Structure 1
């Protein structure tokens, strides 16, 4: 008489029934797939992978060991998520990549998992668009609703906050923090922290203007946009020393202005 399957085996069997896996795909028996997951031909899903409900993994994509994907993510062909970090100190220790919900990873995107000395986790938020050829390195943290255009390169330990948008072929150096709702113009080489709400451009990138279009598109209230315009002029255009301008703005009633001031007060992460 056959023994009853274990609870783990039952869960695995249910997941496979709920998912649609092409017969030419390779899905490790230890991988956990949620309901409605679709896996295309020649896709590879390694051991110790969790993929949430409603995800789509297209042909020839690779989801490497240690990856945790939320729900409804779309992974296009030739994407590699959770690959080993490109770091000489990495010695094969188990690390992870954690991805939120509703992201789109277009062709040839690569996202590496963390390193042991860097915290062990690379984190991607939700509702992001990662266009063709984007690279996110080890131990990076990427927020919600970001749009990274073709060829954007994020080095290790970078922090990209919510609603950040980049033009094509932007490169961000290690440990740099890019503030919320900022825009990095195409071709920018970013080696210093970029404050929230601004446009940065150039080689090496500098603050050029307030990101008025980005603020409006991300539904920042009109009164806050007016307050940020005033604060931007005080900090980046006016004649007051930066420290004095920051001191005057520290008690500003607008929460977005206070967020800008707090960012500029924060110490470097290196």
Structure 2
């Protein structure tokens, strides 16, 4: 049985869908769910230790996929809540997982844990690059990585951290970055449609498609013992100008605009050879994904 936290979110919903369709028994945990699902839903607050304890008392889990956290903008606006949920909730979850005999704990981290790493200075950033997060969100991710590594080193459970790139795909709701879904959802529209990118046209974007993240997590779950405790998701490194230009070739009716501020808190390019090499993983190219949504293939 697999427990997925943050299961009502953008990534969590897709992880649950992929795992359940493959026949895995999934328990989905989140504060709320927008729709019913074929897998079991448990509603509650990851930051509530008593609630988490009840979840683990009622079920025996083989794997925990921990995706619940306070996102970047919300963490900046409410650092106390980020500490309570993203850090405190994660620590309680790690301890309960270790106490209850969970075999594997897969943590949904972020490339934001690296901090800003300009391409001209750092090149494509690998897992060997020392992290230097400069946001509350990034620091919370790094803290949980270190805590999980500590549990792993003590032999209390198998911990794997997945530093996830900028996730794009259909279906995002309640997000401060709607462009991540609009670049797919609006491709097939017949009428003109705007897409506002929240950065400058020269920004560099390490992109990963939503379903690829779910498949990567599946590979980590199925691996008897991954060689490493830290992986970058395989990504495609685009510039914002390249991205806007390509989707406009598929649908000239799309009107793209850019923010006057180009700053991002992430590395500009990611090296994903570690995961690709170990698992022989080859993602479907994003251009093929775009073409599918535009009805071009």
> Which interval holds the TM-score relative to the shorter structure?
under 0.3
> Higher helix share goes to which structure?
2
* Greater RCO, CA 8 A, separation 6+: 2
User: TM-score, normalized by length of structure 2?
Assistant: 0.23
Pick the structure with greater CA Rg.
Answer: 1
User: TM-score, normalized by length of structure 1?
Assistant: 0.24
> Higher strand share goes to which structure?
1
